[in-house]
Structure 1
């Protein structure tokens, strides 16, 4: 499942979805181009890192994936290669089967894992953050091999995302 939050770009241009519903950029000319002379000035001290913050004016592509296992050789490379075909910022992972907890960096991509501590290759959840959204990471909290949370820095308020992997109904209550 992929959730896409769309409003406008960080520079104020309306996206296709907003334009389809009649919303326009208040600084656009009759030809649809933005008039830079009337555009509001950016806040002093604002740099490229600030523009990466989670806000109502940026698109955040979030997905979730049941990996079935990342413990086999080559599975992580395959996952990253497949994700590079999509425009993504954050992917929640279930069933990683990786018996470790913590943060790893693979090819500039952040992998945050919450797995079993007994060495068993079962269960496990985690997140993959794109290099641009890695800058917004405030905290990662591995709760158990079935629950993990991350907190991302936002321009107005921070965003908390919870990744949960529940057992299927065929499993015992234990």
Structure 2
């Protein structure tokens, strides 16, 4: 059936009807409305879209227009088109990064650093938040993987004296290093980086919380710094906090089911309550408590004698990005290369997230030099000097 342009314009600019309740629209009219509205949505994606079509985006849509609703949803246009009720849609990324956290007991030795990047390649970890590095000061080290010769970048933040206490940092492969926007060594227990991402940038905090034997002042100072660092991160950033929290959170209950899963281990202790309060305040979810795994893939620490075991290392993300986390668990086969049996396990989360390459600004030609009379005279003189050089016979 041929439809005149005037008919389409009348449907586009005419009064909107509720197709779910109307009875006077026949099948052809209904299909025509669907087609016209669908064309409108598709045209809105074009840069050369006519202005009158762009203005139509603010008009309310028909409630029964299922075709348009599906088209808008597939193109993530709910934020641009008024559907009566504001809806926040998170665009799912097509690529994935693996984020890990690990208490390594010490990362001062080059052999340990080589073991860490070897395990990162083995478990396909893109960025590793490490704690208890025992490295003083702050800085960066380039680590070359012994087998593949791939380069990894180690950013560390430690205590200023030579006591060798605490220390946190990040080890990143070249892919994540290329997306690095900024890094901040907050303290010997906290460090932060920001990566260029799509659709949102990614802010990651590496943590090493005080143990249960620490003073209340030390614990308050740590969570005060952690809260201050989290509050300074843009609300639209993909926030990840990962590390050794020295906390038992236990399974979820009625008050914590938004931030905890039912696979949290142990009974909640004082440090666990502090972590829960932090997660509630910042709308974070503790990812390695929401996925069902066997017990050995939920526990993250065991005593040297192997009797006492606990889940005290966690990876947290914003609740609005919860669906982007595909899995989160511990790996008891990872090894730091230490002669003694490792008591901490690697914890890793698989996250649907796209990183963007941060392109360096190319140097531009200085046109002021071209306009400089003295430089112009010097350049012309050099050109003629070449002509004055006698040719060899």
Range of TM-score over shorter length? 0.5 to 0.7
Indicate which of 127, 131, 149 corresponds to 2:174.
Answer: 131
Structure-2 separation of matches of 1:72 and 1:92: 17
Residues 4-32 of structure 1: CA deviation (Å, up to 9, x unaligned): xxxxxxxxxxxxxxxxxxxxxxxxxxxxx
Instruction: Decide whether aligned partners of structure 1 residues 73 and 128 sit closer, same or farther in structure 2, where only a CA change above 3 A counts.
Output: closer
What is the alpha-carbon root mean square deviation over aligned residues? 1.5
Q: 2:192 aligns with which of 144, 149, 163?
A: 149
Number of the residue aligned with 1:111: 154
Shift of 1:151: 0.1
Q: 1:172 aligns with which of 187, 212, 215?
A: 215
Give the SS at the match of 1:80.
helix
Q: How many residues align?
A: 120
What's the CA shift for 1:132? 1.1
**How far 1:159 moved relative to its partner?**
0.8
Structure whose residues are more often strand by fraction = 1
**CA displacement 1:27-66 (0-9 Å, x = unmatched):** xxxxxxxxxxxxxxxxxxxxxxxxxxxx722101001000
1:119 and 1:86 map into 2 onto residues whose CA distance is 33
Distance in 1 between residues matched to 2:99 and 2:183, nearest whole Å: 17
Selected match of 1:63 from 94, 100, 103: 100
Partner in structure 2 of residue 162 of structure 1: 205
| 2:120/2:126 contact within 8 Å kept | no
| Runs of 4+ with deviation above 3 angstroms | none
Query: CA offsets, 1:60-114, max 9 Å, x none?
Result: 1001000011124521122222222111111101101111302221111010101
Q: Which fold has the larger relative contact order, with Cα–Cα distance below 8 Å and residues 6 or more apart in sequence?
A: 1
Q: Distance in 1 between matches of 2:109 and 2:94?
A: 39
Give the CA deviation at 1:162.
Answer: 0.9
Distance 2:108 2:198 in 1: 37
For structure 2, which runs of at least 5 residues remain unmatched after alignment? 1-91, 145-150, 219-393
Task: Indicate whether 1:88 and 2:125 are aligned.
Answer: yes
Q: Which runs of 5+ in 1 are unaligned?
A: 1-54
Pick aligned residue for 2:135 from 98, 123, 128? 98
Q: Which is richer in helix?
A: 2
SS at 1:157 equivalent:
coil
Asked if structure 2 preserves the Cα contact closer than 8 Å seen for 1:71 and 1:121, the reply is no
The TM-score, its normalising length taken from structure 1, stands at 0.65
Corresponding position of 2:116: 79
Whole-angstrom distance in 1 between the partners of 2:210 and 2:114: 27
User: TM-score if structure 2 supplies the norm length?
Assistant: 0.30
